[in-house]
Amino acid sequence: MENKKNSVSHITHRKALIDDFPLIFELYDQSHFFYPKKIERIRPYMDVVERNWRNGLSTSGTLFWTHIAEKPEQKKTATLTAWKTTEKSWMAQHLTSNKCPDVVGKMLRNVLEKSSAEGCHSGQLWFRPENKQVNKLFTPVFEQIRENTRYVKTLCFFDVTPDLIPSPVSSIAIRSCEERDIPDLYAFAVKIRGRVFADAEDLSNRDVCLSELDSQYRRFSLMRRRYCWLAADSGRPDYPIGAAIAYRGSLGFNLSLLENRCELIVDPTLDEKMSKAVIFSLIQAAKAAYPLNNNSASPCFYPFKYIPVLVETHLANFFHSYFAAPFKTYNHCIWLYDGFNEWLQAIGTRYRKVMERAGRLKNIADVGRSKGYIMDDPREAERLIQKVDPPQVVESCILEHLRSGEIMLDLGCGPGVILQEVKRRIPDAAVVGADISRSRTLEAHRHLKAYSKAMAVAADVSELPFQSDSFDLVFARFLFQFMKHPERILEEMIRVCSPGKTIVIQDLDGQLLWHYPPDADLEKNIGDAIAFLSEHHGFDPFVGRKLYHYMHNAGLDNINVRPEIYHLYPGKIPERNRRHWELKLSIILPKISGFLGGRKSAEKLKERFMNYLLREDTLTYSVVFTVSGKKLGKKKTGALDER
């Protein structure tokens, strides 16, 4: 059941359909993305570019997609396109918008979170340093990612005509890379460009030519190939001093022709004479990857007589003087999976600053900042780990609703131990956790980093940064008791749940309140404290009994309700549970000490409650409700499925 309010007050996310191609390129035009030299180069071949993009969009997101984020009532739109550049990595490109930073911020988070959940090993993007807006956005973001998970390199782009290159120099040995050459290629790339670059480009893969990936593209009349050569001193042929990595792709996938780039990697310790010899020899070899092909119906169509060559900045002067050619600079940025969470946090922080300056912070999820969550405390993650029994939760609440290959979202995931157990039980399932606390999100990331298709993100659960119809199971445990507007949370859960799939909510009823024999003064003090928590923090000790009503009113189908005893302490509370309650009250009560009359009064209330639990003649109990329901409807045919 789709939330009708979304069309008015929220950003909508979707993947572009084939017929959205004119909309995408119209936005490119409006945002001045087509600067004169770029459009001059591709204008004669726009029919081929359009065909390739339409073919790409027809892959249902498996190889190529464009993400569209919109605020329809304000006519605000942002788009981002991505395509699979190697088996392990996706290239993100062509970020455009009509001046709506809140939409852009949400879109970037949405794309990154889904990419990580789907097991993406790494992401890449290219941008011109001269583009001040993009440079201001991405440069600080990458500085916040650990060095061992990021790569940033400034490269110079030249159009090189191979006919101007002298014949290969006899003192340079060139070998075309085959499977036996892969270790040397990988080691040389690590030496010169670093491990992040070599891993993201998948240069240790035996399929160095990307034959398997190319076969996937060919099914849609597209192509993706790679050709590699190593250069060495002919006297020491086993010690590479240069490499050429030539990529071939369907024309116009990247409107700057980066899908067809040839990267030259040259040992920077070489003298000028040897560098020239290596460069000339590698370009002559790479020429074989760029045969002139004027058959516009072919996936291999390449009508240019030049090669788009990228080199590091220390070679720029030589290229510029020798070829008398202008050049452009690009920043090539890569982030590995282990840096995804830091990427997301940095994007959120960056856009929060943008929105604060614009006076519109309310329009974007405030990443990393608690919005009144009463249990926000550095000790909370450890308390939750000690309290929860992940195997029991997964067995009783999740296994019957989640199959291998499906995607699960856990709202209020805390330290991620439940998702960790899901991955142990269903290794092929993809899991995503969302929690408003950055510290607990980082703790969850620590628990999940050993697993593929598993991640946690900091997000406001009332305004999730995920596309509609994205998850096969949406789960929330002990979340609703702390939510001031639980119906809004349920609306978001329904929005991101796929039609016909399941929502499961588990929460308490009677927590802190059900005891015998009664202690009138204690009950009054607890009742007053809970009333304060309810008014100022949204705490509801009776939310469990309301879950069926919420689901029924939201239009869910096949609703199932299972009540069970949760807390049950006949007589003196067990020591393990005593420590748990001691810590829980130590977190809560200081935050409402002003209402209670000061810290001493808060400590006194805590002491009285704990003493009651330690009595041999008392009974304390509460109930937990587990309620599940299915989202009605069928997935729209023709829509591109993010999975």
Four-CA torsion 489, 495, 496, 501, nearest 10 degrees: 110
Q: Where residue 73 falls among pLDDT bands split at 50, 70, 90?
A: confident
DSSP characters for 309-339?
EEEEGGGHHHHHHHH----EEEEEEEEEGGG
Q: Where residue 237 falls among pLDDT bands split at 50, 70, 90?
A: confident
Per-residue model confidence as pLDDT tens digits over 581-627: 888 888 777 767 666 777 788 888 889 999 999 999 999 999 999 99
- Using alpha carbons, list the distances in angstroms from residue 494 to 7, 268, 276, 399, 474: 15, 55, 61, 20, 8
Task: In whole angstroms, give the CA distance from residue 641 to residue 70.
Answer: 18
Taking residues 250-279, what's their average pLDDT? 92
Task: In whole angstroms, give the CA distance from residue 63 to residue 299.
Answer: 15
pLDDT at residue 294 is higher than 50: yes
Taking residues 111-139, what's their average pLDDT? 76
Q: What integer pLDDT is reported at residue 9 of this predicted model?
A: 43
| Residue-level length of the chain | 643
Q: What integer pLDDT is reported at residue 594 of this predicted model?
A: 65
pLDDT cut 90: percent of the chain above it: 43
Q: What integer pLDDT is reported at residue 369 of this predicted model?
A: 33
Q: Where residue 40 falls among pLDDT bands split at 50, 70, 90?
A: confident
- Residue 420 makes CB contacts below 8 A (sequence gap 6+) with 390, 447, 448, 451, 454
Four-CA torsion 590, 595, 597, 600, nearest 10 degrees: -10
CB 445 within 8 A of CB 380: no
Higher pLDDT, 44 or 344: 44
What are the residues facing 567 on neighbouring strands? none
CB 629 within 8 A of CB 557: yes
Lowest-confidence region among 307-311, 315-319, 426-430 = 315-319
- Using alpha carbons, list the distances in angstroms from residue 487 to 483, 547, 578, 611: 9, 9, 33, 37
Mean pLDDT, rounded, of the chain: 84
User: What residue type is assigned to position 26 of the chain?
Assistant: E
Q: How open is the CA angle 546-550-555, to the nearest 5 degrees?
A: 150
Q: What integer pLDDT is reported at residue 378 of this predicted model?
A: 65
Taking residues 2-16, what's their average pLDDT? 54
Q: Which among 222, 190, 212 has a CA at the least distance from the CA of 49? A: 222
pLDDT at residue 512 is higher than 80: no
What are the residues facing 240 on neighbouring strands? 232
Q: What integer pLDDT is reported at residue 203 of this predicted model?
A: 94
E-assigned strands of 85-207?
89-97, 122-127, 150-160, 172-176
Q: What is the DSSP letter of 636?
A: P
pLDDT at residue 634 is higher than 70: no
60: exposed, middle or buried (C-beta count within 10 Å: 0-12, 13-18, 19+)?
A: middle
Q: What integer pLDDT is reported at residue 587 of this predicted model?
A: 78
Lowest-confidence region among 185-189, 390-394, 532-536 = 532-536
Per-residue model confidence as pLDDT tens digits over 80-100: 888 999 987 888 888 887 767
What are the residues facing 262 on neighbouring strands? 246, 309
Task: In whole angstroms, give the CA distance from residue 167 to residue 295.
Answer: 29
Taking residues 280-295, what's their average pLDDT? 92
- Residue 315 makes CB contacts below 8 A (sequence gap 6+) with 156, 264, 266, 275, 279
Taking residues 283-296, what's their average pLDDT? 91
